[in-house]
């Protein structure tokens, strides 16, 4: 995670320990070498010139006897080594690389028909490896992953969210240097992925995608209001949202300019607050500071009087967008799939999130990573397969398969593939923002029953309390205490 993201303490995953990478052990039969009974040879005490007879020195050992002993011993060692190699060749094929290996792969979002072509391709090139892909339910997924891994019944490979590293320290296996060096990882993937997945000197996952918050807008509604380009800054938002908002004679919303300000009917409200927080120079570890209060004020103003650009009476923000009742929402790019599936005719476009005027562009990351269990008996083989999936040809093939089943696939995690999606109607904004993503553990809908969900609940309570008249700063002081407790629970350094 980046400077704004609270990093795990090194006692969660020991960065200084040398990781042990296992594969299925080869049980070589141990033949006990027969002991050779040696009959001591009578040593004749020769007469040594210059030495008085009858001295107390030990008798000298003849040089030729020593050479004979060394020759016999050396021959025995060579024979033993040859014997072991013959046994291994007979019973184990001479190489552990030929042993049958079965890998269990827990996925979350992709159906088996998406992953199977690449699995088949890998298995064809590696006939000793069998990969069983299982699409898991999000229900208690993280809890099941940890519990079953400890019991020896978990997967070899699994998908996890980029914010989960502090929660999975006891089961994550470090990426072996012989699979991918740190230098190669840093050359291949985005900066936010380098920050999120590194603890100490090791990386703990290989990402197949990159994603985060974008601005999704209804181009038809913008054009009806005389707006030809999407807003690039929050000043632009302030200018155009009133033009896009339509109310009836009683002041009830008919069409909202932008969905922000509440929690009950805003999808990804915690993500949006996190975006405003980092854009305003705040941090989760400093929610009691003025930067955090300012972010909360910006968020709430959209639903407060006199503006009232959004209200609790509106439908869920995603449904409202599908129905044409809101012109703009902030959400991860994958929500565009839900919208397009529900309303294929909608005039939807995607742009980078608004930036603070005069400040560097920044957005909040939310993506998924493939990891290997440290409880797996086939860690090296599991990492080899994941390395295979991250190769350029295989990543583009995966995207091609996904795009046949839906409007677009997962945005590429490889920096060198960015040009392929730079002009994409839905993913171009993600690629444009990818170099400026940061991470915070308050992402909604990761279903982790842990770090993200717990912090999101504190943010929700803070936002809701302001509706009851509690000041922005006071609401966040309570949230600040709660977040510190969560950080302590998951050994997160809040400095």
Q: Is residue 43 part of a domain?
A: no
Spatial separation of the C-alpha atoms in residues 476 and 354, rounded to whole Å: 24
| In a shared domain, residues 136 and 201 | yes
Q: Is residue 48 part of a domain?
A: no
Q: Is residue 454 part of a domain?
A: yes
Label the pairing between strands 213-218 and 328-332.
Answer: antiparallel
- pLDDT (tens place) for every residue of the chain, 495 residues total: 444 444 444 445 655 544 544 444 434 334 444 443 443 443 333 333 333 333 333 333 323 333 443 444 454 544 555 445 444 443 333 334 578 999 999 999 999 999 999 999 999 999 999 999 999 999 999 999 999 999 999 999 999 999 999 999 999 999 999 999 999 999 999 999 999 999 999 999 999 999 999 999 999 999 999 999 999 999 999 999 999 999 999 999 999 999 999 999 999 999 999 999 999 999 999 999 999 999 999 999 999 999 999 999 999 999 999 999 999 999 999 999 999 999 999 999 999 999 999 998 999 999 999 999 999 999 999 999 999 999 999 999 999 999 999 999 999 999 999 999 999 999 999 999 999 999 999 999 999 999 999 999 999 999 999 999 999 999 999 999 999 999 999 999 865
3-state secondary structure the chain: CCCCCCCECCCCCCCCCCCCCCCCCCCCCCCCCCCCCCCCCCCCCCCCCCCCCCCCCCCCCCHHHHHHHHHHHHHHHHHHHHHHHHHHHHHHCCCHHHCCEEEEEEECCCCHHHHHHHHHHHHHHCCCEEEEEEECCCCCHHHHHHHHHHCCCCCCEEEEECCCHHHCCCCECCCCCCCCCHHHHHHHECHHHHHHHEECCEECCEECCCCEEEEEEEHHHHHHCCCCCCCCEHHHHHHHHHHHCEECCCCCEEEECCCCCCCCCCCCHHHHHHHHHHHCCCCHHHCCCHHHHHHHHHHHHCCCCCCCCCCCCCCCHHHHHHCCCECEEEEECCHHHHHHHHCCCCCEEEECCCECCCCCCCEEECCEEEEEECCCCCHHHHHHHHHHHCCHHHHHHHHHHHHHHCCCCCCCCEHHHHHHHCCCCCCHHHHHHHHHEECCCCCCCCCCCCHHHHHHHHHHHHHHHHHCCCCHHHHHHHHHHHHHHHHHHCCECCC
| In a shared domain, residues 325 and 415 | no
| In a shared domain, residues 379 and 314 | no
Q: What is the pLDDT of residue 98?
A: 76
Q: Is residue 31 part of a domain?
A: no
| In a shared domain, residues 258 and 272 | yes
Label the pairing between strands 202-203 and 253-255.
Answer: unpaired
| In a shared domain, residues 176 and 236 | no
Render pLDDT for 236-259 as a digit per residue (tens, 0 to 9): 999 999 999 999 999 999 999 999
| In a shared domain, residues 100 and 121 | yes
Q: How many domains does the chain have?
A: 2
Q: What is the pLDDT of residue 11?
A: 42
Q: Is residue 89 part of a domain?
A: yes
Q: What is the pLDDT of residue 50?
A: 38
Q: Is residue 56 part of a domain?
A: no
Residue where a domain terminates, one of 440, 458, 477: 440
| In a shared domain, residues 159 and 133 | yes
CATH classification at residue 149? 3.40.190.10
Q: Is residue 242 part of a domain?
A: yes
| In a shared domain, residues 454 and 414 | no
Quote the domain boundaries for residue 82.
Answer: 1-25+67-210+365-440
| In a shared domain, residues 284 and 341 | yes
| In a shared domain, residues 15 and 72 | yes
Name the pTM for this structure. 0.82
Q: What is the pLDDT of residue 13?
A: 63
């Amino acid at each position: 995670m980046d400077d704004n993201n609270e990093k795990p303490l090194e006692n969660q995953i020991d960065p200084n320990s040398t990781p042990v990478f296992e594969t299925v052990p080869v049980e070589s039969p141990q033949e006990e070498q027969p002991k050779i009974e040696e009959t001591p040879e009578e040593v004749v005490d020769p007469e040594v010139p210059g030495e008085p007879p009858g001295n107390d020195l030990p008798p000298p050992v003849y040089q030729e006897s020593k050479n004979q002993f060394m020759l016999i011993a050396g021959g025995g060692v060579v024979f033993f080594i040859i014997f072991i190699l013959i046994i291994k060749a007979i019973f184990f094929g001479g190489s552990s690389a030929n042993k049958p290996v079965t890998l269990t792969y827990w996925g979350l979002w992709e159906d088996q028909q998406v992953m199977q072509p690449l699995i088949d391709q890998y298995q064809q090139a590696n006939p000793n490896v069998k990969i069983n892909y299982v699409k898991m339910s999000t229900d208690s997924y993280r809890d099941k992953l940890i519990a079953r891994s400890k019991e020896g019944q978990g997967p070899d490979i699994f998908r996890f969210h980029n914010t989960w590293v502090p929660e999975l320290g006891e089961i994550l296996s470090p990426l072996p240097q012989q699979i991918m060096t740190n230098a190669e990882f840093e050359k291949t993937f985005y900066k936010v992925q380098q920050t999120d997945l590194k603890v100490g000197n090791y990386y703990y996952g290989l990402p197949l995608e990159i994603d985060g918050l974008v601005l999704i807008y209804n181009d038809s509604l913008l054009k009806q209001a005389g707006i030809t380009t999407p807003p690039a800054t929050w000043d632009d938002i302030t200018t155009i949202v009133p033009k896009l908002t339509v109310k009836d004679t009683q002041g009830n919303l008919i069409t909202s300019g932008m969905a922000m300000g509440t929690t009950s009917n805003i999808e990804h409200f915690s993500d949006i607050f996190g975006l405003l927080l980092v854009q305003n120079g705040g941090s989760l570890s400093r929610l009691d500071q003025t930067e955090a209060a300012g972010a909360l004020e910006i968020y709430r103003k959209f639903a407060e009087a006199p503006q009232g650009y959004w209200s609790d009476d509106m439908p869920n923000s995603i449904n409202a967008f599908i129905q044409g009742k809101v012109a703009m929402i902030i959400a991860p790019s994958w929500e565009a799939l839900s919208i397009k599936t529900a309303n294929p005719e909608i005039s939807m476009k995607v742009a980078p999130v608004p930036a603070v005027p005069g400040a560097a562009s920044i957005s909040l990351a939310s993506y998924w990573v493939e990891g290997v269990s440290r409880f797996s008996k086939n860690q090296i083989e599991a990492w080899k397969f994941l390395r295979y999936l991250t190769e350029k040809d295989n990543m583009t093939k995966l995207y091609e398969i996904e795009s046949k089943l839906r409007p677009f696939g997962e945005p590429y995690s490889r920096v060198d593939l960015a040009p392929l999606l730079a002009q994409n109607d839905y993913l171009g904004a993600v690629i444009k923002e990818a170099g400026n993503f940061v991470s915070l553990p308050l992402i909604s809908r990761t279903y982790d029953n842990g770090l993200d969900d717990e912090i999101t609940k504190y943010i929700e309570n803070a936002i809701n309390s302001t509706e009851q008249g509690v000041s922005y700063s006071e609401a966040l002081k309570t949230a600040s205490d709660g977040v510190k407790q969560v950080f302590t629970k998951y050994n997160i350094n809040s400095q």
